[in-house]
Amino acid sequence: MQSATNFVQIHTIYKGEYKSVWEFQGQLLQKLIQAKRSNSSLKPVHHLIFCEHFPVYTLGKSGSMDNLLLDTEGLEKKAASFYKINRGGDITFHGPGQWTIYPIFDLEFFYRDLHRYIRELEECIRLVTRHVGVETYRIKGLSGVWHGEDKAQKKVCAVGVHMSRWVSMHGLGFNVNTDLAWFDNIIPCGIDDKGVISLSKLANTPLEMEFVKKLLVDAFCEVFKLTII
Is position 1 within any domain?
Answer: no
Number of domains in the chain: 1
Catalytic residue check, 51: no
Tell me the pLDDT tens digit for each residue of 94-144. Answer: 999 999 999 999 999 999 999 999 999 999 999 999 999 999 999 999 999
Q: How many residues does this entry show for the chain? A: 229
Q: Which of 6-20, 126-140, 186-200 has the lowest mean pLDDT?
A: 186-200
**Residue 1 has what pLDDT?**
42
Q: Is the pLDDT of residue 2 over 70?
A: no
Q: Answer whether residue 203 is part of any domain.
A: yes
What CATH number does residue 119 fall under? 3.30.930.10
What pTM was computed for the model?
A: 0.95
Catalytic residue among 124, 157, 189, 221: 189
Contact 32, 167 (CB under 8 A): yes
Task: Report d(CA 97, CA 179) in Å as an integer.
Answer: 7
Query: Which pairing describes strands 45-53 and 6-16: parallel, antiparallel, or unpaired?
Result: parallel
In a domain, 53, yes or no: yes
Residue 29 contacts by C-beta under 8 Å, 6 or more apart in sequence? 104, 164, 167, 168, 169
For residue 117, the enclosing domain spans 6-228
**Is residue 110 domain-resident?**
yes
pLDDT band per the 50, 70, 90 thresholds, residue 82: very high
In whole angstroms, how large is the CA radius of gyration of the chain?
A: 17
Q: Is residue 4 over pLDDT 70?
A: no
Residue 54, burial from CB neighbour count under 10 angstroms (0-12, 13-18, 19+): middle
pLDDT at 72 over 60: yes
Query: CA 159 to CA 35: how far, in whole Å?
Result: 27
